[in-house]
């Protein structure tokens, strides 16, 4: 089932269950998705971004919520930290299972072999291939250093 349908179903379920915190987060996701769709009008996808870009958007939202959580903790605002933690959990529920370190290293090795990457100059090519194939399954902020290591950088 496409992610868009998942979001619509989640809104309906949260409304029926009276789960206001979950409903709020899912509406936040759908609003961000509408913004991205509007920005994509007239482009390659004609106003509907593909699932890969949606997964990337969700990962960025998680990263923002993690930063909010860290800021709240430093400021001694436990209630805001808990709210950010709950937001992360809801957004994460829409992402596919994250790859562990061993799976990530294996995927990097396979892409390096397939692309024939020989050094640091090929890092962009490797990262692009990884993002295309494993969107939503890898944390690319952690993948970059592993790719550098694999390319001997």
Is the C-alpha dihedral spanning 38, 39, 42, 47 positive or negative?
Answer: negative
- Tell me the C-alpha distance between 57 and 43, whole Å: 18
User: Is 131 in the same domain as 83?
Assistant: no
Range of the domain at 131: 101-150
29: domain CATH number is 1.10.1510.10
- Domain-ending residue, one of 73, 92, 111: 92
The predicted structure's pLDDT at residue 15? 95
- Domain-ending residue, one of 74, 92, 110: 92
Note the pLDDT tens digit of each residue in 26-82. 999 999 999 999 888 877 767 788 888 888 899 899 999 999 999 999 999 999 999
- Domain-ending residue, one of 92, 120, 135: 92
pTM of the model: 0.74
User: Is 19 in the same domain as 63?
Assistant: yes
When divided into structural domains, the chain yields a total of 2
User: Is 73 in the same domain as 14?
Assistant: yes
User: Is 55 in the same domain as 110?
Assistant: no
User: Is 76 in the same domain as 114?
Assistant: no
Note the pLDDT tens digit of each residue in 83-112. 999 999 999 999 888 888 888 889 988 988
The predicted structure's pLDDT at residue 88? 94
Judge residue 118's burial from the number of C-beta atoms within 10 Å of its C-beta, 0-12 exposed, 13-18 middle, 19 or more buried: exposed
């Amino acid at each position: 089932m496409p992610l868009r349908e998942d979001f619509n179903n989640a809104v309906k379920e949260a409304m029926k269950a009276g789960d206001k915190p979950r409903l709020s987060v899912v509406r936040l996701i759908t609003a961000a998705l509408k913004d991205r769709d509007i920005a994509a009008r007239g482009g390659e996808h004609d106003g509907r971004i593909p699932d890969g870009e949606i997964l990337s958007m969700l990962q960025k939202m998680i990263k923002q919520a993690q930063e909010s959580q860290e800021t709240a903790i430093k400021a001694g605002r436990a209630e805001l930290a808990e709210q950010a933690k709950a937001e992360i959990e809801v957004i994460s529920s829409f992402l596919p299972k994250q790859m562990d370190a061993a799976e990530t290293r294996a995927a990097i090795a396979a892409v390096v072999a397939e692309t024939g990457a020989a050094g640091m100059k090929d890092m962009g090519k490797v990262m692009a291939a990884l993002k295309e194939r494993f969107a939503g399954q890898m944390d690319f902020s952690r993948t970059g250093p592993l790719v550098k290591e694999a390319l001997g950088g």
